[in-house]
Amino acid sequence: MHPRLTSVCLLLCLFCSGCAHWQMNSLAQDLRQEPPQATLLKVEELNMPSRDKVQFLLNRGILRFYTNDLSGCREDLEQAKNLIAELQAISISENLAAATTNETLRKYSGSASEQVMVHVILALSYLAERQLDAARTEVLQADVLMQSLAEGDEWNGQLAAARFIGGLVYQLGDEPDNAMISYRKALELLDHHQQAIPAILQQRLLKLSQQLGLDNEYAQLSQRFQSEEQNADSAELTVLYLDGIVSTKQQNRMSIYSPQANQMISIAVPHFPDHYVSPRQLLVEVDQQFLRSQLIESIDARVREDLAADMPKTIALATTRAVAKYQAVRSAQQNQNQQLAAALLNIFTVASEQADTRSWNMLPANIQVTGGPISADSHFSIPELALAKPSTALQTEISELNANDHLLVIALDIGRQYYPVVFSIP
Amino acid sequence: MTSVVRSLTVLFLLTTLAACGTSVQRIASDETVDLSGAWNDTDSRLVAEEMVADALARPWISDYSSRTGKRPAVIVGSVRNLSHEHINVKTFVADMERALINSGRVDFVASSTERGEIRDERADQDINAREDTRNAAGQELGADYMLQGQINTLIDQEGKQQVRYYQVDLTLISLADNRKVWVGQKKIKKLVKNSKLRF
């Protein structure tokens, strides 16, 4: 093929794949303003290259979760999960492409936290339909994944929200010992991030440590939280609130001095905007008292940490690639008969230097929790969300709550709705 | 040199294109094909075969038959999946039902999820069907035993290698006095090595 035509074709390919990333990132920004149903329709119309299949499935899956298509959500996230597992093997062709062109030619497989969030969202989708055993399977899979991610760095991919939801699933399945272990791990992670411990987690730890006869641990927790187990014989309420949209990666160009090239070279790396997405609390009304949701996980912070952990490797790869491209251009320029090829190669090396800004950018920015005792004659509502007045069906279910029952409410900022489910603890 | 490079490129493209097409090969339903290491039809079949053989060989059937003069009636209760994978337990439970019914030594009655539709049809017959063809309510065969069970797993992994241990436990419990008359167990262990490289 003619060198000029080859270069033009390559540039067009790169341009088209860049278009798809830009469109997906743009739709993630639009999700803050427009209904998720509209965003879902636009995502389904995108023509994504196969290497971005996982990103497409993750975003479509979470949009289906926001729009009450739970089986569709599970279908997409299960497919994404299988693809991610396949992509863990090192690819020879992708490494070659990334070394010569840019990182966007690798198949996207999600960051550590994103991979754990696949299991978290799947667990929530099962809980929303009262499929407790299936949710438990996802909790187990998340546990195995977090164990493997921690092999290199003990905090890599560890999510307090995943542990909290795991504890909740075990509690709903009458497995207090496993629930206690999960809640303990959630506490450990929150302490590592120097984050305040939500009141609902404090209550659960106190209740379970007392129930399991862990007297020393109960005393330590009671002293730390300045609280004691109330021993109330009533049903329990847990509200999980998925707030906001996570930040979207952007491209940042940097100049780095290369000793090999003996000059400054330009590389493109991904970065997140400086401002974090601030959590907005949810108010839940129970018997005319308001409970405020409290932060259990800042997913925005976790994905930023994932990027920061990868940054040294990303910069090293980008620098090596930029030096190789620079030297190829210099070599072509030194040949008098290849000036046109050298010029085209120069254009290609500059245009092809794109940062990999792909991410699961329609995830919620943070997960918040609240809860407490609730009884059969309680009045419950979440004024801000779609159902300003509780539905008749929901109030009927609440009126039939027994002492050991558990009302779980999964509330969504995007879509402004909630999934209420009653579990009867055996 | 250039012609060698061109030839290799053409060969590479042809190989890649050949791998792009879809091919379908029909295989026997009892042929073992392990693709990902996850629970599959072979595992389900192995569990059903072992459980059926064990259940038919134990004395609970003959004990019941000699005591009452009839075949025991079994109802399928909850068989829980407590494993690391989404496993459809209905496949091996259905295989067990079929084998035990076809042995002529055990009766199965509809489970709580199955009989709702049957009772609705019976109620409809009570109103709409001819009197001599109606199936009256209150004539169901009561179960003598309930089949319950669970699947558990243990996972051990390091790097690209994983050992998966599955344990399937099934129990027959007397509805008269809660006695466990039969306990079946099947263990399956797999070593899964994931690929370190891909093209």
CB contact under 8 A, B155 and A134: no
Residue of A nearest to B88 (CA): A134
Does position B8 have pLDDT exceeding 70, yes or no?
no
Residues 13-42 of B with CB under 8 A from A: 36
Mean pLDDT of A81-110: 85
Angle of helix A160-172 versus helix A199-211 axis, rounded to 10: 50
Contact yes or no for A113/A142 (Cβ under 8 A): no
User: Residue A280: which pLDDT band, with cuts at 50, 70 and 90?
Assistant: very high
Predicted local distance difference test score (pLDDT) of residue A163: 98
Does position B6 have pLDDT exceeding 80, yes or no?
no
B160/A19: higher pLDDT: B160
What ipTM did this prediction achieve?
Answer: 0.81
Share of chain B above pLDDT 70, in %: 90
Mean pLDDT of A223-238: 85
Contacts of A134 in chain B (CB under 8 A): 81, 86
DSSP category for residue A383: T
Structure tokens, B57: 């060989």
B195 interfaces chain A, CB cutoff of 8 Å:
yes
B80 interfaces chain A, CB cutoff of 8 Å:
yes
CB contact under 8 A, B196 and A89: yes
Predicted local distance difference test score (pLDDT) of residue A387: 53
Task: Nearest by CB to B85, from A86, A87, A137: name it.
Answer: A137
Predicted local distance difference test score (pLDDT) of residue B29: 83
Contacts of B84 in chain A (CB under 8 A): 137, 140-141, 144
User: Residue A10: which pLDDT band, with cuts at 50, 70 and 90?
Assistant: low
Angle of helix A160-172 versus helix A176-192 axis, rounded to 10: 160
Return the amino acid letter for B21. Answer: G
Predicted local distance difference test score (pLDDT) of residue A396: 78
**Start-to-end Cα distance in chain B:** 25
B171 interfaces chain A, CB cutoff of 8 Å:
no
Share of chain A above pLDDT 90, in %: 58
Mean pLDDT of A243-270: 88
Does position A3 have pLDDT exceeding 60, yes or no?
no
CB contact under 8 A, A144 and B195: no
B88 interfaces chain A, CB cutoff of 8 Å:
no
CB contact under 8 A, B84 and A141: yes
How many whole angstroms separate alpha carbon A193 and alpha carbon A264?
Answer: 37
User: Residue A17: which pLDDT band, with cuts at 50, 70 and 90?
Assistant: low
Q: Is the dihedral of CA A333, A339, A345, A348 positive or negative?
A: positive
Mean pLDDT of B152-157: 93
Predicted local distance difference test score (pLDDT) of residue B145: 97
Other CB atoms closer than 10 Å to residue A286's CB: what's the count?
21
User: Residue B93: which pLDDT band, with cuts at 50, 70 and 90?
Assistant: very high
Does position B38 have pLDDT exceeding 70, yes or no?
yes
CB contact under 8 A, A133 and B82: yes
Per-residue model confidence as pLDDT tens digits over A183-193: 999 999 999 99
Q: Where is average pLDDT lowest: A309-318, A345-354, B103-112?
A: A345-354
Instruction: Using a cut of 0.95, tell me whether the model's pTM lies above it.
Output: no
Does position A1 have pLDDT exceeding 60, yes or no?
no
